[in-house]
DNA sequence: ACCTGAACACCGTTCAAGT
DNA sequence: ACCTGAACACCGTTCAAGT
């Protein structure tokens, strides 16, 4: 990349972050270009789609998030890890209004620039769930898709202003549901080693 | 309303229903007008906003839904009522792709043509929850907003194709969480009459 | 009364023309 | 190499002009 292009690239990212935080994830690309003092075509060559722009914007946040997942996998109890993970996700979800809807859509579409990032979050979630299930700390009748689905659903909900105040409580309620073995499957800790801690 | 206007009105509704089912709740208004063989301005005078159009389209579904809530309030056990109600909502949510996102947004905005409909669903949910709480069948540490929030979240999730297959299961998981008195508040059936059935 | 085409200000996509 | 203005096909809003 040429020096002027490089400079443009990082300047665009800086401004885009500002605009998207102010206006939400569906801000106009034209608006971003305008505020960056750059031609719209220039913005779109650096980031051909909204997803591509977000991929670049989110990589910092997402790296922090997945790294956190790694830490949680070793340091905490499986149950506490699930709760912390969910809360980390909710913080991420509030980085940009509408970002979860964008990621949820990208999750289905392998061509999306956000697909890999979604997959990373998905698999981290699945790993944490599996570990909890192996220890009998999480209900056995759910899978990684369910886990990610609940995260997406609550992550989406939280950027509706009316629901944001109760978000923490809803997360508590849902993680509670994930972590408690309900009567129906409480005896099903088939493969899991007994809770030895 | 004049005879020709009346005819236009119902014809537009018929076509709009078709288009919105095919294309989802964010289909182009222009497209709807085109397919109804009507000027765009005509469509927009009958239904000045997308919300107004949906208000007219959904009133049948919503009447059925709220009526169902009334039945559930008397016929079933409070717990079963909550579960049935949630499932009814999920069926409604799948009537049009994106309709829950539309309603969730309208929920905050008193000027929206869908505001009253949202409020009706909200209050029906709150009533059913209160009854269940009074009998100690639902956890006491949540309110109508939480209930509606969970309904919105799962209703939104279900129109992402990747999550639709697991939706029933997630509803089961969440209603489970609502209905079981968790250890922390299991003893808190303060006002509730003992479960006498 | 009711309908409609057209003008308007937006959007993202695309590309020929500039440096 | 990289940038940009402009043309394009869309969108919802608005209104003067028709019946």
Section A28-38 average pLDDT? 97
Chain D nucleotides with an atom closer than 7 Å to a protein C-beta: 1-6, 10-16
Quickly give B37 CA vs D8 C1' distance in Å.
25
Whether residue A5 lies within 8 A of chain B, CB to CB, comes out as: no
Section A50-79 average pLDDT? 95
Please give the Cα distance from A31 to A16 (Å, whole number).
9
Q: What is the DSSP string of A126-172?
A: HHHHHHHHHTT-S-TT--HHHHHHHHHHHHHHTTSTTTGGGHHHHHH
Q: Is the pLDDT of residue A86 over 80?
A: yes
B30 touches strand D (CB under 7 A): yes
Length of chain B: 197
pTM of the model: 0.91
Please give the Cα distance from A57 to A131 (Å, whole number).
31
How much is the pLDDT for B191?
A: 34
Please give the Cα distance from A175 to A189 (Å, whole number).
18
Q: Is the pLDDT of residue A44 over 50?
A: yes
Query: What are the pLDDT digits (tens) for A97-142?
Result: 999 999 999 999 999 999 999 999 999 999 999 999 999 999 999 9
Please give the Cα distance from A151 to B63 (Å, whole number).
31
Query: What are the pLDDT digits (tens) for A167-195?
Result: 999 999 999 999 975 444 433 333 333 33
Average pLDDT of chain A, as a whole number: 91
Residues of A in contact with B140 (CB under 8 A): none
Give the one of B107, B150, B160 whose C-beta lies nearest to A170's C-beta: B150
Whether residue A154 lies within 8 A of chain B, CB to CB, comes out as: yes
How much is the pLDDT for A181?
A: 59
Could you tell me what percent of chain A has a pLDDT over 70?
91
Whether residue B197 lies within 8 A of chain A, CB to CB, comes out as: no
How much is the pLDDT for A186?
A: 38
| B102, B113 Cβ separation under 8 angstroms | no
Q: Is the pLDDT of residue A8 over 50?
A: yes
Query: Which residues have C-beta within 8 Å of that of residue B97, sequence separation ≥ 6?
Result: B24, B25, B159
Query: Which residues have C-beta within 8 Å of that of residue B101, sequence separation ≥ 6?
Result: A101, B25, B156
Could you tell me what percent of chain A has a pLDDT over 90?
86
Which pLDDT band, with edges at 50, 70 and 90, does A2 fall under? confident
Whether residue A118 lies within 8 A of chain B, CB to CB, comes out as: no
Whether residue B145 lies within 8 A of chain A, CB to CB, comes out as: yes
Q: Do A173 and B170 touch (CB under 8 A)?
A: no
How much is the pLDDT for A1?
A: 72
Section A28-41 average pLDDT? 97
Query: Which residues have C-beta within 8 Å of that of residue A140, sequence separation ≥ 6?
Result: A133, A181, A185, A188, A189, A190
Tell me how close the Cα of A38 comes to any Cα of chain B, in angstroms.
Answer: 30
Mean pLDDT, chain B cut into blocks of 10 residues (197 residues total): 83 98 97 97 97 96 95 92 98 97 96 96 98 96 98 97 96 95 41 36
Instruction: Point out the least confidently predicted range of A43-52, A71-80, B22-31, B145-154.
Output: A71-80
Nearest residue in chain B measured CA to CA from A160: B105
Whole-Å CA distances, B129 to A134, B6, B66, B171: 34, 41, 14, 15
Query: What are the pLDDT digits (tens) for B91-116?
Result: 999 999 999 999 999 999 999 999 99
């Amino acid at each position: 990349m040429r020096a002027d292009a490089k400079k443009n690239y990082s300047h665009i990212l800086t401004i885009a972050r500002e605009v998207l935080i102010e206006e939400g994830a569906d801000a106009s690309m034209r608006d971003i270009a305008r505020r960056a003092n750059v031609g719209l075509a220039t913005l779109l060559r650096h980031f051909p789609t909204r997803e591509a722009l977000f991929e670049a914007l989110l990589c910092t946040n997402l790296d922090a998030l997945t790294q956190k997942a790694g830490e949680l996998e070793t340091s905490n109890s499986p149950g506490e890890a699930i709760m912390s993970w969910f809360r980390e996700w909710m913080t991420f979800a509030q980085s940009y209004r509408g970002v979860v809807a964008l990621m949820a859509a990208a999750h289905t579409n392998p061509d999306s620039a956000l697909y890999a990032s979604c997959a990373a979050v998905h698999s981290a979630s699945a790993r944490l769930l599996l570990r909890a299930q192996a220890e009998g700390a999480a209900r056995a009748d759910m899978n990684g898709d369910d886990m990610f689905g609940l995260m997406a659903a609550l992550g989406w909900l939280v950027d509706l202003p009316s629901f944001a105040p109760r978000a923490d409580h809803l997360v508590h309620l849902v993680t509670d549901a994930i972590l408690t073995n309900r009567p129906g499957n409480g005896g099903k800790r088939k493969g899991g080693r007994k809770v030895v801690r």
